[in-house]
Amino acid sequence: MNQSEIKWWQGAMIYQVYPRSFADSNGDGIGDLKGITNKLDYIASLGVDAIWISPFFKSPMKDFGYDIADYRDIDPLFGDMADFDELLEQAHQRNLKIMIDQVLSHTSNEHAWFTESRASRVNDKSDWYVWADANQDGTPPNNWMSIFGGVAWQWESRRQQYYLHNFLSSQPDLNFHNPDVQQGVLDNVEFWLKKGVDGLRLDAINFCFHDAELKDNPAKPIDKRQGRGFSEDNPYAFQYHYYNNTQPENLAFLERLRDLMDKYPNTAALGEISSEDSLATMAEYTEEGRIHMGYSFELLTDDYSAQYIRETVQTLEEKVTTGWPSWSVSNHDVQRVATRWGKNDNNAEQCKMITALVASLRGSICFYQGEELGLPEANIEFEDLQDPYGITFWPTFKGRDGCRTPMPWQQDQKNAGFSINKPWLPVVEEHKALAVNVQDNDKNSILNNFRSFMAWRKQHKALVAGDIEFIETEEPLLMFKRSFDGETIFCGFNLSNEAVSTSLPMSLETINNPVRSQAEISGNEVTFPPYSVFFAK
């Protein structure tokens, strides 16, 4: 690949906006599309390339927009189509791409397709969802479990059958074995491509197909029940999920989706993948002719060791052929990285180091709103919880509300400037001290470091699109080199809060970079202060 062949999404910095919690323009306590438009100058100042917007479509909001009732309409909570058109136009004027969330595997139970499908076994939509007869004793047809707790089957008395829901019971799964369903889904996608969106983030894309024979999932041993975005005391973790998702038929559908997107040049699809071997699935799903990028929960875990990060990235690099990886350490479904990896230390230098580390990996990077401020996980009292996932598993698992609280814009304003009225989730006190206006005025803040690092990164194509090769080091050091078109940059990171020294097999020369805490290089000897970095040649 040479510089002229780099696509906009290869090595892109993608900023995820969770619209409910970003900016409220009308004072109802819920963020909206106009709120995003009003903050586009701020997003542009971060130096990112694209905005991924979580769902804003018409929805009963049982799962806060990931239960879609109409794929082609805006929920009034967020505004209307004119608001979206204005957002798209204003973003493009600032050279920002817009990627929208597409939830293809399931709908809301209030979607017109499901309303018709549930009415009888003989109408035009009767097999658009996954329906199955009960066993002789009335129990569900197999042992599949829902991610959100309990069995994955809900009885429907009108049809005298069960329907499948891998998520909430109000999120019935579509039957992708029906070609008409696939076409209906692709038609909805094309509606937004025609509008001019630049990309799609494909939610739970490996959940589109199920095993047509409804085979039972095998049990998983206790020592293997490690969650990927779900609580380990959740019975969902008790199974290998070989049959309720990640079926081979999905590959042909992804190729149909890619054929559609290729009709709209310069668009890209980013798939969220959570399977029993997510790295292998990412590699498979991003092969030539399928989706452009895939990301998994592999760096959204508690494991923060250099060995884990190195082995995870190396494993994917070995498996990927023509595909392009994407990495994320925070999103709207997991505990914020400042808490998860920071262990409640709230260390600004660690946050800066994590940004530099993730942004230096090969691939496209998704940063979640508030990550640029170093926001820790918010502690939400039970009476304030909104997430059905957290309410179900409280108190052992508090759900996802702690990473979904409103953005703090102005420290001394009501609700930190997010809304003039009570927000849907509270703004916690510790976030106000990290508000945008506070950090704007501090040249050494996490926010200003984020901005300067993104601007610096763009100047080095090796960091944007280069190959990656790891250098073996002892904990807690992580080192690798990125190479592109004759440029090689060595990258080093101290993941600990203690100083560390090491010897390298070669002498390096430091490249000036914006991160405040820098390692000292003398020949082939390197001394790392706590949470420090180096970039060298």
Query: Known catalytic residue: 86?
Result: no
CA atoms of 116 and 139, how far apart (whole Å): 25
Per annotation, catalytic residue among 49, 198, 203, 211? 203
Q: Report the first-to-last Cα separation within the chain, whole angstroms.
A: 21
CA atoms of 206 and 210, how far apart (whole Å): 9
**Exposed e or buried b per residue across 503-535, where buried means at least 16 C-beta atoms within 10 angstroms of its C-beta:** ebeeebeeeebbbbbebebeeeebebbbbbbbb
Look at residues 138, 46, 140, 58 and name the one whose alpha carbon lies nearest to residue 96. Answer: 46
Question: Hey, what amino acid is at 251?
Answer: L
Look at residues 390, 349, 73 and name the one whose alpha carbon lies nearest to residue 230. Answer: 390
Per annotation, catalytic residue among 24, 75, 156, 272? 272
CA atoms of 333 and 344, how far apart (whole Å): 18
Look at residues 251, 272, 243, 122 and name the one whose alpha carbon lies nearest to residue 182. Answer: 251
Query: Known catalytic residue: 262?
Result: no
Look at residues 169, 195, 210, 162 and name the one whose alpha carbon lies nearest to residue 71. Answer: 195
CA atoms of 207 and 229, how far apart (whole Å): 15
CA atoms of 227 and 334, how far apart (whole Å): 11
CA 505 to centroid of chain Cα atoms? 37
Which residues are designated catalytic? 203, 272
